[in-house]
Amino acid sequence: MLRVINVVGARPNFMKIAPVIDEMRRRSDRIEPLLVHTGQHYDESMSDAFFADLQIPRPDINLEVGSGTHSEQIARVMLAFEQVLLAHPADWVVVVGDVNSTMAAAIVAARMLVPVAHVEAGLRSRDRTMPEEINRLVTDALANLLLTPSRDANENLIREGIEPGKIRFVGNVMIDTLFRSLDRARGSKILERLKLEPGQFCAMTLHRPSNVDDKATLSGILNALESIGARLPIVFPVHPRTRERLQQFELSERVRKQTSLVLTEPLGYLDFLKLYSNSRLVLTDSGGIQEETTALGIPCLTLRENTERPITVTEGTNRVVGNNPENIKREALAALDRGAASPRMPELWDGNAAVRIVDAIEEFSRR
Ligand code: UD1
């Protein structure tokens, strides 16, 4: 029996682990999966709603680390996860994505000589001011099995000297979840609730420190939204970090008065899928949404200086536009004029990544 500890912590982890856990449970004669939630995200809207929407089993263990500075959060995950590994000897630790919990769990496992499999290995923005880039570099340096979503990720890893035998190109596991959820998302009533017509609005998410932690940058983005909003309303589910910054910078009132902005609390997976899949244009600084819009052919503007997911630009519907207000405005109005995009679906974004991931874990265990 293969004992596998799967670790999640923050919102973008949940859609990546869901199909993996599902596949492991399908092989319950050979695999015994345990699910550990670090508690990095803990609000109902940032965590529980996703477990319900994605039909993920309740975590076996919740470490309840909560918020803090990066080092506090990482240290708390490490202390608590060490105890988990002591109490539950494991054959593998599976970590996903690039959040603080991902790296912290990988460090602990590597220290305790438990093999680490990293789902979504090899993505690089080459921007070390992003905490996620450090998380990716460290996690990949320690992982025993590097499961990549696209071929550019393999190239990045090989360039960093990772042994090619440890790398497996398995495709994009988020797309497994996306395909499996489309039917159920059709039942979401979010458009009615927000009084929106399909194709008659933009959707936006914004939470990166580089966009929301500086008052001038954040108000510059709000300025750009005024011009875009004159064409089409912009639906904006507000991340807790962004809500706090808007309050701190005394911008909450201004945002509320911007009539073309439709503000909501963070949405669950199915509501958000229904929302952006019916939008005309998505503006985001998220990683995963760049991929989801590519898979569905929705035009996307990424409000960052770079992306760790270049395939969404070369083959998909994404454009990286930075956070200069004039640029955002020009690019958004041009995208609205251009209309629908004609993307290519990247290789192995086919809904079967989880099968290849669990196959690889089993195969590496036999070595
Ligand atoms: C984290 C990830 C980021 C990911 C994002 C998705 C890291 C370094 N960052 O950023 O890669 O894109 O999640 O959401 O791991 N908060 C709440 N409730 C919650 C969680 C957070 O109110 O459930 C607030 C707290 O004030 C907290 C702040 O949001 O201090 C930031 O949370 P944190 O987990 O540190 O980082 P995110 O910005 O969410």
The residue extents of the domains of the chain are 2-171+349-366, 188-338
Give, for ligand 1, the residue of 11, 13, 38, 41 to mutate: max count of ligand atoms closer than 8 Å to Cβ.
41
- Residues with Cβ within 8 Å of residue 37, at least 6 apart in sequence: 8, 9, 47, 59, 61, 62, 63
Q: Report DSSP state, residue 348.
A: T
Cβ-based neighbour number of residue 141 at 10 Å: 13
**pLDDT, tens digit, for every residue of 211-224?**
999 999 999 999 99
Question: What distance in angstroms lies between residue 289's CA and the mean position of ligand 1's atoms?
Answer: 16
Give the nearest ligand 1 atom to 100 CA.
Answer: 15
Distance CA 207, CA 276 (A): 17
Interval 176-194 mean pLDDT: 98
- In the reported structure, the alpha carbon of residue 6 is separated from the centroid of ligand 1 by a whole-number distance in angstroms of 20
What phi and psi values does residue 96 have, to the nearest 5 degrees?
-130, 145
Nearest residue (CA) to ligand 1, atom 7: 99
Average pLDDT over residues 178-195: 98
Structure confidence at residue 340 as a pLDDT band (50, 70, 90): confident
CATH class label, 188-338: alpha beta
Distance 120 CA to ligand 1 centre (A): 19
Assess whether pLDDT exceeds 90 at residue 79. Answer: yes
Q: ∠ CA 344-347-353 to the nearest 5 degrees?
A: 125
207 is catalytic: yes
Residue 13, amino acid? N
Question: What percentage of residues in the chain have a pLDDT greater than 90?
Answer: 98
Which residues lie closer than 8 Å to 116 by C-beta, 6 or more apart? 92, 93, 94, 95, 106, 109, 110, 139, 142, 143, 144, 145
Pocket of ligand 1 (CB under 6 A): 10-12, 40-43, 46, 67, 73, 99-100, 131-132, 207, 239-241, 244
Angle between helix axes 288-296 and 269-277 (nearest 10 degrees) is 50
Mean per-residue pLDDT, 66-73: 98
Q: pTM score, two decimals? A: 0.97
Residue 367 banded pLDDT, cuts 50, 70, 90: confident
pLDDT digits (tens, 9 = 90+) for 276-321: 999 999 999 999 999 999 999 999 999 999 999 999 999 999 999 9
pLDDT at residue 153 is higher than 80: yes
Bridge partners, residue 289, by sequence: none
* Same fold: 2-171+349-366 with 188-338: yes
Give the per-residue pLDDT at 265. 97
Domain 2-171+349-366: CATH superfamily is: Glycogen Phosphorylase B; (3.40.50.2000)
Q: Could you list the beta-strand ranges (E) of the chain.
A: 2-8, 31-37, 61-62, 92-96, 116-119, 145-148, 167-169, 202-205, 234-237, 261-264, 281-284, 300-302, 318-320
For residue 172, count other CB atoms closer than 10 A to its CB.
29
CA 249 – ligand 1 centroid, Å = 18
* Residue partners of 50: CB distance under 8 A and separation at least 6: 11, 14, 15, 56, 268, 269
